[in-house]
Amino acid sequence: MPSPLESATDSLLDPATVEHLGDTFTYTPAGGSPVTGVNGFVEYEEDIANPQAPGAGAIAQVIAVELFAQLFPTRPDATCRISDIARRPGELFQPVGVMAVDRGFWRFGLKKVPV
């Protein structure tokens, strides 16, 4: 039998649920001021550069963020910034590949920018 979270519908992902289950980071919207303690989801994955080539490939860390669209309804662009993520403190990122996820989130990858 699935747990309540496994059988939950997307409508249960309200701000209180995201705060309880999610990650915190700082989000700076385009032309705005930094907002600290933003709740969302941060996923850390690895990707192999050129997996078709024989031998070991370079492994890069890929970070994806899901930002609650109810709190930030404007689609993030390259001028927005993300910082203070748990595994990369002190680094600054910009959103890349932004897409709307039907659960009510903006999902995007991160590209490091100079601090």
CATH number of the domain residue 96 falls in: 2.40.10
Query: Distance between CA atoms of 48 and 96, rounded to whole angstroms?
Result: 19
Partnered with residue 109 across adjacent β-strands are 64, 96
> In total, how many domains does the chain have?
1
Q: Indicate whether 60 belongs to any domain.
A: yes
> Rounded distance, CA 18 to CA 33, Å?
22
Q: Give the pLDDT score at 61.
A: 76
* 4 within a domain of the structure (yes/no): no
* Domain presence at residue 1: no
Q: Is 23 among the domain residues?
A: yes
Q: Give CA–CA dist 50/58, Å, rounded.
A: 8
- pLDDT digits over 65-93, tens only? 999 898 899 999 999 999 999 999 999 99
Domain range for 23 is: 10-113
Give the pLDDT confidence score for residue 115 in this predicted structure.
Answer: 78
Q: Which residues contact 3 (CB under 8 A, 6 or more apart)?
A: none
Q: 3-class DSSP state for residue 95?
A: strand
User: Contact at 8 Å (CB) between 68 and 40?
Assistant: yes
Q: Is residue 2 part of a domain?
A: no
* Residue 3 located in a structural domain: no
16-57 pLDDT, tens digit each? 665 657 899 999 999 999 999 999 999 998 776 666 666 666
Retrieve residue 51's tokens: 């997996």
